[in-house]
Each structure stands twice: as structure tokens, then as C-alpha cells.
Amino acid sequence: MQHHPRKRFGQNFLHDPGVIQRILNAFAPMPGQQPLVQHLVEIGPGQGALTAGLLEIAEAVDVIELDRDLIKPLAERFGDPRLRIHQADALTFDLCALLSPSTHRLRLIGNLPYNISTPLLFRFLEQADCIEDLHLMLQKEVVDRIIAAPGSKVYGRLSVMVQTVCSAQRLFLVSAGAFRPAPKVSSAVVRLRPHRPLPYPLVDRPWHARLVAAAFAQRRKTLRNSLAGLVSPEQMIALGIDPAARAETLSIADFATLANASNACID
Ligand code: SAM
């Protein structure tokens, strides 16, 4: 039976074989390279556009799909015991629970549902310890925000939160015509690699997340105002950070320093 793509699940299925192959090539270990891990996890397999290629390069693939109606067709299409299908919400799924004694980290791939891409990214960051790398198709604007540097108009909460935990590299752009139905936006594939160890270790990650969110809540505000009640101007000055500056001028290291130095002072 034909599946009608569902907007509420962000269903834009890839159908361009060239684009599918390009993503798989970026994801697969280069020839002659040792595969770091062979435990692959796909977020939102849909009708299996990427899954087919994943099964060619892995011993086992876990896929996490929310739409119940896609589960049976996926199982029937592949009929492969190496494919483990989880009907579940990736926003709450415990990825680390997939690890087995033989695989100490997962490799994640996904053409993500764009309507929930930011919360999904935050969820993956929380689980970065279990993840070797991530190759994700996202809205191009989201990728631009992820990789932005301080001073850029699109540098913000997402840039700081992702770059604190991962290196981020935009691989290539994908036009809307590669999907069915075609989304209204352009897309891009990004590669994220969790840092090990973190270049700027955090004493208290939730506190860092809270500070970053507050700092960017109103971009036009100075740090003195946006962080009022969280970090005093005197503390900022002592750390070499100008309270009259705006959040977009602070580096990843600055945010880590600010969070680490201030968290002990707040109850
Ligand atoms: N990978 C397929 C492809 O490239 O053709 C489908 C990609 S489509 C953009 C996103 C997929 O994620 C859909 O299959 C959708 O049902 C699924 N999805 C949406 N929300 C989800 C969630 N919270 N957890 C897991 N999968 C989800």
C-alpha cells in the first residue's frame, strides 16, 4: 500500500540516488581506513532510502522510526535479521542502551525530520559519550547556525551548544528536488564528531546550558543585562569578559570559562 508522506512527522523522503550515495560515501570509512565502529544507528529511516546502503556496510543496523505505518513495510522490504527496527520517538530514545560489549560507540546517521531537528540535536549532544560520529541531513539554515563562528549573524545558542561538545563540518548542500515531497527549504549534510576529551571541560553542563540560553535569549541585550542575576558584571570583568559586550562576541571557550567560574556562586 502506498504511504502518503506525513507533514507532522517531517516526512520528506530522499529519492535521488546520487544524493543517497553521496551521504553513504561520507558516512562510510574511506577505503583502507579501519572502521572505528560497526554499530550503526539510523534516525528516521522512513522507507529505507539510506537503510539499504547501511546494511551493505554494517554487521547490524538499529533504526528508530516514530511512524507506526512505516514499520511493517521496512521489515518487509529488507527481511534482514541484521536490521533491528525500533518503533520509538528519537527524542526520548536511550541510544546508549543500544551499546553492547563489542561496540563501545555508535555511529549515527539520519535525514532528520526538520520540525524537531533542534531538540533532536540537543538530545544527541546529551548522549555524546556513546556516539562516535553523526552524519545528519538538516535544513541548510540550521547547519549554518551549527558551524557559525563568533561575530557571525547566525552564531547563537545552537552554535555554542554543538561546538562545545563536537567538531562540526558542513559536507555538502542538497537541493529540495532530491526529496519527495520537496521541502520548501534547502538542505545540507553536516558531520559532527564529539570531542574526546572536551577542549573546554565543563564543571556543570546544565548550568552552562542555562547561561548560554539566557545570553542569547535576546541577542540585542548586553551580557550585563541578559545575564543579570546569573553572573555579576564584576565576575565578568575578573574573567576578562566585557559586560557591555553581546553574547555573539563570546567564543566557545569564553562561555565555558564563564560557566565554570560562576556556577559555584549560585545556589
Ligand atoms: N530517512 C528517510 C529518507 O531519507 O527518505 C526519511 C527521512 S524523513 C525527512 C524523517 C523521518 O523521521 C520520517 O520517516 C519520520 O517518520 C521520522 N520521524 C519523525 N519524527 C520522529 C521521531 N520523533 N523519532 C523517530 N523518527 C521520527
Confidence of residue 38 (pLDDT cuts 50, 70, 90): confident
- Residue 30: predicted pLDDT: 60
Are 175 and 211 members of one domain? no
Q: Given 170, 194, 218, which residue is the final one in a domain?
A: 194
Are 157 and 241 members of one domain? no
- Residue 41: predicted pLDDT: 97
Q: How far does residue 137's CA lie from ligand 1's centre (Å)?
A: 11
Residue nearest to atom 14 of ligand 1 (CA): 46
134: in domain: yes
Are 83 and 143 members of one domain? yes
Are 35 and 129 members of one domain? yes
Are 132 and 222 members of one domain? no
Q: Is 69 in the pocket of ligand 1 (CB under 6 A)?
A: no
Are 159 and 40 members of one domain? yes
**137-154 average pLDDT score:** 98
1: in domain: no
Q: How far does residue 87's CA lie from ligand 1's centre (Å)?
A: 11
Are 147 and 214 members of one domain? no
Closest ligand 1 atom to Cα of 13: 5
Residue nearest to atom 19 of ligand 1 (CA): 9
Q: How far does residue 215's CA lie from ligand 1's centre (Å)?
A: 32
- Residue 31: predicted pLDDT: 60
Instruction: Identify any residues that bridge with 64 across adjacent strands, giving them in sequence order.
Output: 43, 86
Q: How far does residue 43's CA lie from ligand 1's centre (Å)?
A: 7
Q: Is 45 in the pocket of ligand 1 (CB under 6 A)?
A: yes
Identify which of 51, 111, 114 to mutate to test ligand 1's pocket (most ligand atoms within 8 A of the CB): 111
Q: Is 117 in the pocket of ligand 1 (CB under 6 A)?
A: no
12 annotated to a ligand binding site: yes
Element (H, E) at 60: strand 60-65
Q: How far does residue 65's CA lie from ligand 1's centre (Å)?
A: 6
109: in domain: yes
Q: Given 138, 169, 194, which residue is the final one in a domain?
A: 194
Q: Is 53 in the pocket of ligand 1 (CB under 6 A)?
A: no
Of 105 and 187, which is predicted with more confidence?
Answer: 187
Structure confidence by residue, pLDDT tens digits, 233-254: 999 999 999 999 999 999 999 9
164: in domain: yes
200: in domain: no
Q: What is the CATH number of the domain that holds 219?
A: 1.10.8.100
Whether pLDDT at 255 is above 50: yes
Q: Is 202 exposed, middle or buried (0-12, 13-18, 19+ CB in 10 A)?
A: middle
Q: Is 23 in the pocket of ligand 1 (CB under 6 A)?
A: no
Whether pLDDT at 34 is above 80: no
Structure confidence by residue, pLDDT tens digits, 39-58: 899 999 999 999 999 998 88
259, 208 in Cβ contact below 8 A? Answer: yes
15: in domain: yes
Q: Given 194, 213, 244, which residue is the final one in a domain?
A: 194
Q: What value of ipTM does the predicted structure carry?
A: 0.99
150: in domain: yes
Give me the numbers of helices (H) and strands (E) for the chain, helices first please. 10, 9
Q: How far apart are CA 140 and CA 145, in angstroms?
A: 9
Are 110 and 140 members of one domain? yes
Of 144, 124, 126, the closest CA to residue 134 belongs to: 124
250, 258 in Cβ contact below 8 A? Answer: yes
Are 212 and 86 members of one domain? no
Are 54 and 181 members of one domain? yes
Structure confidence by residue, pLDDT tens digits, 59-89: 889 999 999 999 999 999 999 999 999 999 9
Closest ligand 1 atom to Cα of 44: 12
Q: How far does residue 126's CA lie from ligand 1's centre (Å)?
A: 20
Are 20 and 132 members of one domain? yes
111 annotated to a ligand binding site: yes
Q: How far apart are CA 157 and CA 201, in angstroms?
A: 18
254: in domain: yes
Q: What is the CATH number of the domain that holds 159?
A: 3.40.50.150
Of 46, 45, 28, the closest CA to residue 37 belongs to: 28
Residue nearest to atom 23 of ligand 1 (CA): 89
Q: Domain total for the chain?
A: 2
Q: Which domain holds residue 71?
A: 7-194
Are 180 and 213 members of one domain? no
80 annotated to a ligand binding site: no
Q: Is 14 in the pocket of ligand 1 (CB under 6 A)?
A: yes
Q: How many CB atoms lie within 10 A of CB 216?
A: 21
